[in-house]
């Protein structure tokens, strides 16, 4: 898996810049999850990811271990997202989109509206978590990464990831239960 990254980087550095498309497709979603976990806004997260890919492309010659592109890129995204939060002095919970698509056609209109409302409440609750907890929740439940992968991306231990995830799930459960009562 990571050897494919190394081979792709070698192709890019050898004069095939279009090969970068492979890395973009492969890591776009992960980058978005990291950026969203930090900035708390989908549109700003997209901007952060685009800027991060541009920086990664321009800095590709500086990567020491080409088969660790995933972790190198994740650090670029994390740094760029933190910069974006500092620059914009944003509060994540106030910038969540509330216009998620709903299923208003047919007999499932009510169920679709309920799903839409639940999705909004979940995103709001996640956005209110501390950054470290939000990051592990997004990477685990939206990206499906393993505890080990999350630990490597977050620069922490597996036990810290487990602890943060446990704590975040408890907070989310309490917030969501109190809103449905």
pLDDT value at position 1? 58
Number of other CB atoms surrounding residue 150 within 10 Å: 23
Q: Which two tokens stand for residue 4?
A: 């494919």
Q: How far apart are CA 49 and CA 132, in angstroms?
A: 19
**DSSP codes joined into one string, 94-143:** GG---------SGGGHHHHHHHHHHHHHHHHHHHTS-HHHHHHHIIIIIS
Q: What is the pTM of this model?
A: 0.66
Q: 24-68: per-residue pLDDT in tens?
A: 999 999 999 889 888 888 889 999 999 999 999 999 999 888 878
Mean pLDDT of 64-81: 88
Out of 23-27, 88-92, 99-103, give the one with best mean pLDDT: 23-27
Q: 108-164: per-residue pLDDT in tens?
A: 677 777 777 777 788 778 878 887 888 888 888 877 888 998 888 888 899 999 999
Q: Which residues contact 136 (CB under 8 A, 6 or more apart)?
A: 150, 154, 161, 164, 165, 168
State yes or no: pLDDT of 90 exceeds 60. Answer: no
Domain with CATH 1.10.10.10 in the chain: 109-180
CATH fold of 109-180, please?
Arc Repressor Mutant, subunit A (1.10.10)
CATH no., domain 2-88: 1.10.1740.10
């Amino acid at each position: 898996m990571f050897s494919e990254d190394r081979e792709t980087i070698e192709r890019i550095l050898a004069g095939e810049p279009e090969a970068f498309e492979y890395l973009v497709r492969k890591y776009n979603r992960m980058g978005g999850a990291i950026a969203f976990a930090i900035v708390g806004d989908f549109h700003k997260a997209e901007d952060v990811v685009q800027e991060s890919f541009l920086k990664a492309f321009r800095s590709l010659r500086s990567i020491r271990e080409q088969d660790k592109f995933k972790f190198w890129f994740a650090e670029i995204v994390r740094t760029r997202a933190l910069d974006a939060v500092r620059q914009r002095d944003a509060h994540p919970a106030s910038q969540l989109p509330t216009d998620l698509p709903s299923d208003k056609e047919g007999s499932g209109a009510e169920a679709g509206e309920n799903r839409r409302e639940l999705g909004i409440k979940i995103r709001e609750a996640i956005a209110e978590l501390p950054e470290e907890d939000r990051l592990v929740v997004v990477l685990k439940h939206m990206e499906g990464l393993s505890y080990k992968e999350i630990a490597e991306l977050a620069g922490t231990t597996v036990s810290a990831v487990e602890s943060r995830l446990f704590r975040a799930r408890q907070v989310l459960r309490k917030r969501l239960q109190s809103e449905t009562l």
